[in-house]
Amino acid sequence: METSPTIFIVPTGIGCEIGGFAGDALPTAKLLASASGCLITHPNVMNGGALSEKDKNIFYVEGYSLDRFARGEIGLKSVKQQKIGIIFDSSIEHEILIRHLQVADACVATLGINVHAYVITKKPLSIIIDSDTSKISGGIIENPDTLIQAGKTLIEKGVTAIAIVAKFPDDSGSEETNSYREGKGVDPISGVEAVISHLISKFLQVPCAHAPALTPLDCNERLDPRAASEEIGYTFLPSVLIGLSNAPDLIELPNNNELITLHPNRLESIVVPHGALGGEAVLACVERGLNVISVKNQHTLTVTNQFLNYPNCIEVNNYLEAAGIILSIKKGINLTSIQRPLKRVQEIYLND
């Protein structure tokens, strides 16, 4: 099948107008996957709390591993099914833990997902949220070693993909949380969520994603539709289990023994918000001379192409235009042929 492998990134924790909320970039991902035939994206794009969706043209890859793919360090291998293990933070209250275990049972019974086992950390992860004045979400894990130990235990029992559920501080009444729920601010927990999943990716090298365990929020009649999918269930775990259920295996390169479905050498383009061009995946694609499609998508960063001066950066107004660009690349159509005015073919003079 003709494809144009494309990375789609919406950076976590910078308040993107599209993709800065609860899976609200998923329709965009489906569009870009249809145009490219092969889209590589990360959980921040696909996870919609209680809602998510599979797409045969989308590779679900955690952000740290996605950066490694962009750098050419790993390949991706399609699988029919992952054997998922869940790590639960030992500080999660009993009732909330039961709700999450019911999600796991439901995904097995209703969706046929292979949720194999779970483990509870020996010590609390002790998550600290740090959303600073620059409006970029962040935070730290005080006990990262207990997370790694739990992950190793699951892998020793045959698990091939890991979901992490960490207990987050109750900040339901905070100004940042209320602002986010009403569509006006940055998701205060998304930055440290990325820290958690990056840790598992870096040290255990398996597909992974994170779902926060939060105290149920009071009803908010001013809720922004983009945040709504986080409010319709007790947990955010369903979308994580759906995404991990057939996430690709991560194959270290060079490797001559594994059948790799998607080699990074096949990558052609990356789609990223305008002003967010400083990420590792983008810079790796620039170094490799690939197409960078920069899309207007309001957020808190200002790293534009004026800092990179990259000739293969294509700036567009929205993701509908980005899909057209990708389709043109896939079909081998010269982009200038579709633009007006159309310049005459340039003559090159021979040297004497």
pLDDT of residue 71: 97
Q: What number of other Cβ atoms are within 10 A of residue 50's Cβ?
A: 20
Selection from 63, 71, 17, 31 nearest residue 44 by Cα? 63
pLDDT of residue 259: 86
Alpha-carbon Rg for the chain in angstroms: 21
Q: How many residues does the chain have?
A: 352
Mutual angle of helices 63-70 and 190-204, in 10-degree steps: 60
Which residue stretches of the chain have pLDDT < 50? 133
Q: Is the pTM of this model over 0.75?
A: yes
pLDDT of residue 133: 42
CA–CA gap between residue 190 and residue 179 (Å, rounded): 14
Task: Render pLDDT for 186-210 as a digit per residue (tens, 0 to 9).
Answer: 777 777 888 899 999 999 999 999 9
